[in-house]
């Protein structure tokens, strides 16, 4: 018991007691518990009405994340799409009674139905967004409880994506599951699985940053209204509090309650992309007279994004080049059930290349991934899977998935744009697709008026009505692959600059396939997307020419290579590999970085490097060849079997060196590229048969 000392004011004693109570409470048990429940699940495929041979009705133990399509989709022989079940025994502690217990799924592919103790709780449609159910009233406290999740990943006209044409709809609980346990009065958990806290930044500069924090609260206690204190605290990276706002509030039992708090940060340390991704921490606390009863922590990166029509992207009022790649979330032999460590490894590969921006295509991706982008400084594009086909039955689900995407990721400072669709079309401004895009744009502006929206066309026309219903028009251009020649990109972008100088435009996809097992010297001007020969050298040439064009046109405010990694496509059958899109700069298993990877690394990453291309073309048949070297640190010297080669010319950018008329000798040839000023060298061995 705390004793009052003589002369100490009563109000100070009371304040100390409240502080003592809050400290004791925080030391014994946090106000909010988050418990991962990813282990000890049982799984089985259910009876498949289409293909009984693909079913497996035996239960087996699995750990989440899990997908049942980790192998069959990439085999190209058909894959299981249908019903499956997961179940788990969950002990509900007796002291949870009287609290609120939620179960949160970060991603289930693609329709999930939850049962607790055989009681139906609810359904969620969509593979890529998180969802939450309140299971407080279905649990038996002090006992074991049966948790069952029924999952289906068949194509559906009312759930986007409506088909498997561009990428597979993997089945399973492929992202983590957690229990969230709160007091009866809490910061909202069931607001489309959001944090319940929404941070709006205004007037951000090096002098100050104005913040508005909206908090959603729920009261499920027996009291008609709870008398509480709501506080918002901002901490710098060292853990020092730099700003706080607090107020006394009344939280009614009737409906969700909204409260706003205003804060001003003076002389902020700005989030500045890859150069300096500085993060504050914002903590919202709810307290009664005994101490903290709920608490939520969110990232805070203070920054200003602006895309100026015809001029490019600006970060904190300074030009900032968005050097981008697209990323799918699947991996060979893993499917889409990736661990946080695997997500982090992908980002490290992307960072090595000097990338500053990522388009996470074509769907909401891992929460961990977005958080890592905050701390690593990537400027990112997040989107929903409204892609490639229209059924006219998907509007409600598309709208729902967009709301989920925005609310669940609202506070990530790295996100600059919400993607509304990719390659879906309409001929007039009043047709289904154009109207749905307009409605999606309106939802985005209502949910988050401070971020851009983007829609993506597979055509090179700026004035298509469907795509003018967003702030930014993305265009997917595949000159030299699906149409025309590689260099046609120049005429296209020059034409847009002249005709539409005041439009915001990004090159949302460009690229070509490359099978690293297929090596040859390539001089062709076009590829063959329907063929079986996709040599790596053609991808190298493609990107050398096209980045050389993009680099000269700041009118292209952002550009995104399709794709960072090879990925699965169930109906694909080209390049002598089934069910695979091989436009990646790295292979599906992440083991090989293709030559084009090093092209971008040389152009984008200032760290000194030298690299000889064609290193996998080890068995040569032509004694007279051309050798390409990338060097971002000066002109390299090429040595072939100890002899210096002097016939060199510059290529499409300053890092591009081409050595012509290089002669090989029969048998083994040692080829070296040397930059003496930095003591850098690269070596390959080629054999001439």
User: Closest by alpha carbon to 610, among 589, 591, 590, 633?
Assistant: 633
Total Cβ atoms within 10 A of residue 202: 12
pLDDT of residue 57: 75
Phi, psi of 244 (to 5 degrees): -150, 145
In the structure encoding, which two tokens stand for residue 17, read together? Answer: 């007691």
pLDDT of residue 9: 44
pLDDT of residue 465: 84
DSSP structural state of residue 450: T
Q: Both ends of the chain: CA-CA distance in Å?
A: 90
| H or E segment and range at residue 269 | none
pLDDT of residue 16: 33
Global pTM exceeds 0.85 = yes
User: Closest by alpha carbon to 322, among 206, 450, 452?
Assistant: 452
Query: Does residue 617 contact residue 686 with C-beta atoms inside 8 Å?
Result: yes
In the structure encoding, which two tokens stand for residue 488, read together? Answer: 């046609």
DSSP structural state of residue 483: B
Strand partners of residue 460:
none
Query: Does residue 687 contact residue 620 with C-beta atoms inside 8 Å?
Result: yes
DSSP structural state of residue 333: T
pLDDT of residue 81: 95
Domains of the chain: 33-183 (2.60.120.260), 194-300 (2.60.40.10), 305-606 (3.20.20.80), 619-688 (2.60.40.10)
How many whole angstroms separate alpha carbon 519 and alpha carbon 503?
Answer: 41
Q: How far is CA 221 from the centre of its chain?
A: 38
Cite the active site residues. Answer: 423
What does the pLDDT look like over 188-216, one tens digit per residue? 999 999 999 999 999 999 999 999 999 99
Strand partners of residue 91:
144
Phi, psi of 5 (to 5 degrees): -85, 150
User: Closest by alpha carbon to 560, among 583, 528, 536, 530?
Assistant: 583
User: Closest by alpha carbon to 267, among 212, 317, 204, 314?
Assistant: 204
How many whole angstroms separate alpha carbon 297 and alpha carbon 415?
Answer: 18
Sorted by sequence, the CB contacts under 8 Å of residue 13 that are 6+ apart come out as 2, 4
Radius of gyration of the chain (CA): 28
Segments of the chain with pLDDT less than 70:
1-28, 47-56
pLDDT of residue 13: 36
Query: Does residue 563 contact residue 511 with C-beta atoms inside 8 Å?
Result: yes
Query: Does residue 270 contact residue 320 with C-beta atoms inside 8 Å?
Result: no
């Amino acid at each position: 018991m705390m004793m009052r000392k003589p002369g100490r004011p009563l109000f100070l004693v009371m304040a100390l007691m409240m502080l003592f109570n809050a400290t004791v409470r925080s030391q014994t048990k946090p106000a909010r518990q988050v418990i991962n429940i990813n282990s000890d699940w049982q799984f089985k495929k259910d009876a498949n009405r289409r293909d009984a041979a693909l079913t497996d009705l035996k239960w087996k133990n699995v750990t989440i994340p899990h997908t049942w399509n980790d192998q069959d989709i990439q085999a190209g022989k058909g894959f299981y799409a249908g019903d499956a079940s997961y179940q788990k025994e969950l002990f509900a502690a007796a002291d949870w009674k009287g609290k609120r217990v939620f179960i949160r799924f970060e991603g289930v592919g693609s329709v999930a139905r939850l049962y607790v103790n055989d009681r139906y709780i609810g359904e969620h449609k969509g593979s890529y967004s998180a969802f939450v159910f309140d299971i407080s009233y279905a649990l038996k406290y002090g006992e074991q409880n049966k948790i069952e999740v029924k999952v289906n990943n068949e194509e559906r006209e009312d759930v986007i994506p409506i088909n498997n044409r561009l990428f597979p709809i993997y089945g399973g609980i492929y992202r983590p599951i957690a229990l969230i346990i709160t007091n009866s009065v809490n910061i909202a958990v069931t607001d489309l699985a959001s944090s319940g806290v929404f941070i709006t930044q205004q007037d951000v500069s090096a002098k100050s940053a104005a913040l508005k924090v909206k908090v959603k609260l729920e009261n499920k206690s027996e009291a008609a209204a709870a008398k509480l204190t709501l506080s918002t605290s901002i901490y710098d990276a060292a853990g020092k509090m730099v700003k706080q706002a607090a107020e006394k509030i009344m939280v009614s039992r009737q409906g969700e309650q909204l409260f706003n708090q205003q804060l001003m940060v003076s002389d902020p340390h700005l989030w500045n992309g890859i150069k300096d991704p500085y993060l504050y921490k914002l903590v919202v606390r709810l307290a009664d007279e005994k101490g903290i009863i709920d608490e939520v922590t969110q990232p805070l990166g203070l920054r200003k994004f602006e895309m100026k029509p015809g001029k490019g992207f600006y970060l904190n009022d300074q030009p900032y080049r968005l050097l981008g790649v697209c990323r799918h979330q699947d991996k060979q032999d893993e499917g889409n059930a990736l661990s946080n460590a695997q997500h982090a490894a992908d980002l490290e590969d992307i960072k090595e290349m000097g990338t500053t921006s990522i388009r996470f295509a074509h769907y909401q991706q891992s929460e961990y991934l977005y958080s890592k982008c905050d701390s690593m400084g990537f400027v990112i594009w997040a989107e929903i899977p409204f892609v490639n086909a229209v059924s006219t039955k998907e509007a409600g689900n598309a709208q729902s998935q967009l709301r989920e995407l925005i609310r669940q990721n609202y506070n990530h400072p790295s996100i600059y744009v919400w993607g509304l669709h990719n390659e879906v079309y309409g001929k007039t401004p009043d047709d289904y697709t154009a109207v749905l895009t307009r409605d999606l744009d309106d939802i985005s502006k209502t949910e988050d008026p401070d971020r851009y929206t983007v829609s993506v066309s597979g055509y090179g026309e700026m004035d298509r009505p469907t795509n003018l219903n967003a702030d930014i028009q993305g265009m997917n251009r595949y000159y030299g692959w699906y149409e025309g020649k590689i260099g046609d990109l120049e005429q296209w972008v020059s034409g847009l600059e002249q005709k539409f100088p005041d439009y915001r435009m990004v090159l949302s996809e460009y690229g070509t396939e490359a099978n690293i097992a297929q090596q040859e010297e390539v001089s062709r001007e076009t590829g063959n997307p329907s063929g079986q020969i996709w040599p790596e050298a053609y991808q190298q040439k493609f990107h050398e020419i096209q980045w050389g064009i993009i680099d000269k046109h700041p009118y292209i405010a952002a550009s995104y290579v399709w794709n960072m990694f090879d990925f699965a496509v169930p109906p694909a059958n080209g390049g002598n590999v089934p069910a695979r899109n091989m436009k990646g700069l790295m292979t599906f298993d992440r083991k090989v970085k293709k030559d084009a990877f090093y092209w971008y690394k040389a152009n984008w990453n200032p760290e000194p490097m030298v690299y000889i291309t064609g290193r996998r073309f080890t068995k040569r048949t032509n004694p007279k060849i051309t050798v390409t070297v990338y060097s971002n640190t000066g002109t390299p010297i090429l040595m072939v079997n100890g002899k210096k080669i002097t016939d060199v010319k510059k290529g499409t950018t300053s890092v591009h060196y081409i050595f012509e008329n290089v002669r090989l000798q029969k048998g083994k040839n040692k080829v070296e590229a040397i930059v003496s000023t930095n003591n850098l060298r690269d070596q390959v061995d080629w054999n001439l048969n």
